[in-house]
């Protein structure tokens, strides 16, 4: 069966520090991959999605970037974090014509 | 692009009562409408979905209805229980596997 993992689960970072969140999917090939952000008490904001290796589409201009170095690996990065980057980051995957499944989430606090 | 509006933003019901959450969408080409439940601090999880070739789908205490002409769909929860308390998100897309547009969420509180 397919599983999705993302890490770290929680992290506290100072303003201006770099960020790297990683997500991997097992049990499937060529998944569509997504990064969402959820501010406290708010909805789901799509940040990036990818339909294949090296193919990244950005939905919201910001200081974040995403990469897909391997078929089932999706990485969210920042060179310099802002206070407004705090939130709950969710990786997700879907198969073509399939349902969307979310990872466990990474809670980021920027101080 | 697609735009999904969800109402109400918060809903409080007594245990055993029914709860209804409504969503409207803008793109008539949308054909796939899932609903997600997110418990506090957890990831959203799919609870039910409907495709445009049906008007209603039911799974135990949960049902979803779709009106393509009016471009709205609704989630119905009957005999609510405290464990139904969560944030519910509706979404729409051209088809399953395509990028979803989410509604803003509804915080449901079921009072025992």
Which of A42, A97, A104 is the closest to B97 by Cβ? Answer: A97
Interatomic CA distance for residues B81 and B112, integer angstroms: 8
Q: Could you give the maximum distance between any two Cα atoms of chain B, in Å?
A: 41
Tell me if B34 sits within 8 A of B49, measured CB to CB.
Answer: yes
Q: Give B 63-102 residues with CB within 8 A of chain A.
A: 89, 91, 95-97, 99-100, 102
Write down the mean pLDDT value for chain A.
93
Cα separation, B100 vs B53, in Å, equals: 18
Model pLDDT, residue A61: 65
Please determine, for residue B106, whether its predicted confidence score (pLDDT) is greater than 90.
yes
> Residue A56 CA to chain centroid, in angstroms?
12
Q: How far apart are CA B30 and CA B70, in angstroms?
A: 13
- Among B42, A45, B25, smallest CA distance to B34 is for B25
Contact B102, B4 (CB under 8 A): yes
Pick from B23, B34, B20: nearest CA to B76: B20
- What is the DSSP track for B5-38? EEE-SEEEEETTS-EEEEEEES-TT--EEEEEEE
Reported as a single tens digit per residue, the pLDDT across B49-102 is: 999 888 999 999 999 999 999 999 999 999 999 999 999 999 999 877 788 999
Chain B residue numbers touching A42 (CB-CB < 8 A): 104-105
- Please give, rounded to a whole number of angstroms, the shortest distance from the CA of A43 to a CA of chain B: 5
B23 and A CB contact within 8 Å: no
Query: Is there a contact between B21 and B37 (Cβ–Cβ < 8 Å)?
Result: no
pLDDT band per the 50, 70, 90 thresholds, residue A68: very high
| 3 state SS for A32-89 | EEEEEEECCCCCCEEEEEEEECCEEEECCCCCEEEEEEECCEEEEEECCCCHHHCEEE
β-strands A106-110, A10-13 pairing: parallel
For residues A67 and A79, is the Cβ–Cβ distance under 8 A? no
- Contact list, A44 vs chain B (CB under 8 Å): 44, 89, 102, 105
pLDDT, one tens digit per residue, over B8-29 is 999 999 999 999 999 999 999 9
- Chains A and B form CB pairs within 8 A to the count of 45
Instruction: Indicate which of B43, B95, B105 best probes the interface with A, i.e. most A CBs within 10 Å of its own CB.
Output: B43
Which of the residues A41, A43, A90 would you substitute to probe the B interface, choosing the one with the greatest number of B C-beta atoms within 10 Å?
Answer: A43
């Amino acid at each position: 069966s397919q599983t999705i993992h993302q890490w770290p689960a929680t992290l506290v970072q100072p303003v201006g520090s770099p960020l790297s969140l990683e997500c991997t999917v097992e049990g499937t090939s060529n998944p569509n991959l997504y990064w969402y952000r959820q501010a406290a008490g708010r909805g789901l904001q799509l940040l990036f999605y990818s339909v294949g290796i090296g193919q990244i589409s950005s939905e919201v201009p910001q200081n974040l970037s995403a990469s897909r170095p391997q078929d089932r690996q999706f990485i969210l990065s920042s060179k310099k974090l802002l206070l407004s980057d705090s939130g709950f980051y969710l990786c997700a995957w879907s198969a073509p014509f399939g349902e969307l499944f979310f990872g466990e989430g990474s809670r980021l606090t920027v101080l | 692009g697609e735009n999904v509006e969800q109402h109400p933003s918060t809903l409080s019901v007594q245990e055993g009562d029914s709860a209804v959450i409504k969503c409207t969408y803008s793109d008539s080409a949308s054909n796939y409408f899932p609903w997600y439940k997110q418990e506090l601090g957890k990831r959203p999880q799919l609870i039910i979905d409907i495709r445009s070739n049906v008007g209603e789908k039911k799974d135990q205490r949960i049902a979803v209805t779709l009106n393509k002409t009016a471009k709205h769909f609704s989630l119905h929860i009957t005999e609510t229980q405290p464990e139904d308390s969560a944030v519910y998100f509706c979404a729409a897309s051209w088809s399953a596997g395509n990028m979803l547009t989410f509604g803003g969420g509804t915080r449901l509180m079921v009072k025992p």
